[in-house]
Structure 1
């Protein structure tokens, strides 16, 4: 079992995307709402927290990504047709240089 997970709560459109990826059997009920849970390791969780400092985790070590990041994650799930995507998705979601000024050109 994963150390952490990303909860992706499903509306009708997101549910259709998950079903189209052949993952309808992975839909669960989280806090009374339909969702899929994307597993991630502790190392991936640390990178996400660096990239999204406001990310909050519940008592079950689950979090919800900001809307734009969640859309990227859903697109990756749709392409790869699995929920085990974090090794790949972390590169798309976590930008270690975000918010850092570019270095001045060396002369």
Structure 2
């Protein structure tokens, strides 16, 4: 069992992408909407929380990503044809240096 989840709510285009990856059997119903759930560990959740400061988790330890990050995640899922993508996706979604000024070499 996963520690946390990312809920990806599916519209027709997203559903077609998931189905095209052979993952139609992974579609679940969340609050009356079709979605897929991507599992992640507590460590991956901490990295995402650092990268997306406004990310909030519900009582079931699930969140939804901002649109741009969700699109990247869906592209990775479609490419790999699996929902077990967080080890790879975390590198694409979490940028630990975002917002930090580059350091110049001191002499």
TM-score of the superposed pair, with normalisation by structure 1: 0.98
- Aligned mates of 1:27, 1:34 — CA distance in 2: 6
Structure 2 match to 1:71: 71
- Give the paired residue count: 107
**Can you give the 5+ residue segments of structure 2 that lack an aligned partner in the other structure?**
none
- Aligned mates of 2:11, 2:93 — CA distance in 1: 22
3-state SS of paired residue (1:25)? helix
Structure 1 match to 2:6: 6
- Aligned mates of 2:47, 2:56 — CA distance in 1: 14
Superposition deviation, residue 86 in structure 1 = 0.0
- Aligned mates of 1:105, 1:31 — CA distance in 2: 52
Q: Which runs of 4+ in 1 moved over 6 A?
A: none
Structure 2 match to 1:34: 34
Encode CA deviations 1:57-95: one digit per residue, 9 max, x unaligned.
010000000000000000000000000000000000000
Superposition deviation, residue 104 in structure 1 = 1.6
- Aligned mates of 2:61, 2:7 — CA distance in 1: 10
- Aligned mates of 1:21, 1:106 — CA distance in 2: 50
